Structure 1
Amino acid sequence: MLKRKGKMMLAVLVAMLMLLTACSQPAPAPAAATEPAEAPAETPAETPAEAAGGKIGDVQAAGKIVLGTSADYPPYEFIVEVDGNLEVVGFDIEIAREIANDLGVELEIRDMDFDGLLAALVAGNIDFIVAGMVPTEVRKESVDFSVPYYRAEQRFLVRAADAAELSTIEALAGKRIGAQISTVQETIATEQIPDAGELRFLSRINDLVMDLKSDRIDGIVLVGPVAASYAKADAQLAVSDISFGQEDGVAIAIAKGNDDLTEAINATLERLMADDLITQFIAEATALADEQQVE
């Protein structure tokens, strides 16, 4: 009996030992939950600027390109009255419109003093300059230029009564010479008329013309088409026989680093020159300047 009880006790102890051993084993790790893969983040749609890139992208995003010019330079750029409103016109303006059209944007025109144009371009207040500007080495230090699109002769505007007398550069000795400030004409007046009695440089050609007509100066150094335009518009004025030679050619100024815009402008200019449209623009602007000029 005792032996049987002993066997029973031993069986109970073995069972308890097996139970304790099982409880001491670490529980198996639960199976990892399977999560759905994250959907890739949506890529935002590109803006027109990002799509095109560079300066052209900025211009297209704005929907306009801002032109800087000095509208006192017929037939390049000047002001006329159309249906009671003053508008900036000229063959430079038509070229600028072609550039805007090729870029698919509107043209905004800002008229300012010529000597303030480069500073406005460098500051980013305008996108390009079309203003009968010659790309001198000094100007190239601060801005880039397109290919030249027009060349003209440098002439001398005088009072009609003085045209016969002031027909040679030597005759300008001791005379009062005017020119627009910060222009090639200013350089010509300074370097090619060494015996001038007085040099007067102003921002606006209209002001120089007023000085000429009121006998405060004796003549103005001007590019040929501009001198001819003022003379045709006013019988008191005439273009002297004096010639200071042909300019290197006018071009469009673009801020440095905007190579894409420079290339696009060059492409437009090459197209216009190949189709002889610039010649047509000049003829139309000259005829318009002859009809109406706002001083």
Structure 2
Amino acid sequence: MCDQQRRVDRREYLTLAGGAGVATTIGLAGCLEDAENGDDEGGNGDGGQTIVPGTAPGFEPFEMNVDGELVGFDIDLLEAVVAETDYELGDWQELEFDGLMPALENENIDVIAAAMTINEERQETIAFSEPYYSADQSVLVQSGGDVEAGELEDLEGLEVGAQSGTTGEGIIEDELGDDVSYTSYDNYVLAVQELERGTLDAIVIDEPVAESFADDREVEIAFTFETGEEYGFGVRQDDGDLQEALSEGIAAVEESSQYDEITREWFGE
């Protein structure tokens, strides 16, 4: 199993991320390889299969790349979950969010850990573990700016952004459509930077991520609306054994003190 990632607080992440954006790993490793030579280190010690995890940094505090090091809630949680199974965790692969499902289908990665919402459209292509986190959607605006919004209709006629492939993008397309000028971003760090500069009027983003940005950047939450979405770890539809193992691992971590500890570390809850 890979070494435990170094934990970095939110402010350090945002300072280091700056205008550089998020590095993307191009080379992808092979997946679901049997542990060589019966190595019993990591996992539960029975030399289980190695699974390659994929994520999309830039979604603080769930997954972030800080000075070349991957950290965040999803990173710590998946490592804790896999430690409860017979699997071993391989090297993390970093991609853009909308590249995760294709990478999973192509067997370049074996599990998605990227605050991915479980929905019917995605379930037509991939399978999910049991949920591990619930969230709603928020609208971010520039602190002290001119935009005053209390509901989605108030965004009509404005420049609105979201991360490509996310629930926020889907809401903009489905609920607002041509009533707004929409810009898609590879990650939310870039979108928030544009919001701070005033070249973007609003962002639709998951509530816990919005709260993190509002704590550390010159942006604020205009309003939050209920979506009832839940995050799950994504796996291939034919990988029922891994799906079941991850779900059982989530249950084990939640029943122990580990889930609360990881939550406090990244959300202060």
TM-score of the superposed pair, with normalisation by structure 2: 0.77
Match in the other structure for 1:77: 63
Identity %: 28
| Bigger Rg over Cα | 1
Deviation at 1:104? 5.1
CA contact 2:58–2:187 (8 Å) conserved in 1: yes
What letter matches 2:53 in structure 1?
L
The answer as to 2:151 corresponding to 1:168 is yes
What letter matches 2:240 in structure 1?
D
The answer as to 2:141 corresponding to 1:158 is yes
CA contact 1:96–1:107 (8 Å) conserved in 2: no
Q: Distance between the aligned counterparts of 1:198 and 1:186, measured in 2? A: 12
Q: Which runs of 4+ in 1 moved over 6 A?
A: none
Q: Distance between the aligned counterparts of 1:194 and 1:98, measured in 2? A: 40
Match in the other structure for 1:281: 262
Q: Distance between the aligned counterparts of 2:102 and 2:76, measured in 1? A: 23
Match in the other structure for 1:129: 112
Deviation readout 1:166-221 (Å, 9 max, x if unpaired): 33333212111111111111111122335733011122111211221222221110
Q: Distance between the aligned counterparts of 1:224 and 1:163, measured in 2? A: 22
The answer as to 2:209 corresponding to 1:212 is no
For structure 1, which runs of at least 5 residues remain unmatched after alignment?
1-46, 288-295
CA contact 1:91–1:278 (8 Å) conserved in 2: no
Alignment of 1:67-216 (within 5 A): 67-81=53-67, 86-102=68-84, 103=86, 105-162=88-145, 165-194=148-177, 196-216=179-199
Alignment of 1:26-105 (within 5 A): 60=47, 64-81=50-67, 86-102=68-84, 103=86, 105=88
Query: Would the alpha carbon gap of residues 48 and 106 (structure 1) be closer, same or farther in structure 2, given more than 3 Å must change?
Result: closer
For structure 2, which runs of at least 5 residues remain unmatched after alignment?
1-33
The answer as to 2:241 corresponding to 1:260 is yes
The root-mean-square deviation of aligned C-alpha atoms, in Å, is 2.4
Deviation at 1:91? 1.2
CA contact 2:53–2:89 (8 Å) conserved in 1: no
Secondary structure of 1:131's partner? coil
Q: Distance between the aligned counterparts of 1:182 and 1:253, measured in 2? A: 14
Query: Would the alpha carbon gap of residues 60 and 204 (structure 1) be closer, same or farther in structure 2, given more than 3 Å must change?
Result: farther
Q: Distance between the aligned counterparts of 2:202 and 2:104, measured in 1? A: 31
Match in the other structure for 2:219: 237
Q: Distance between the aligned counterparts of 1:279 and 1:171, measured in 2? A: 37
Secondary structure of 2:234's partner? strand
Alignment: residue pair count: 227
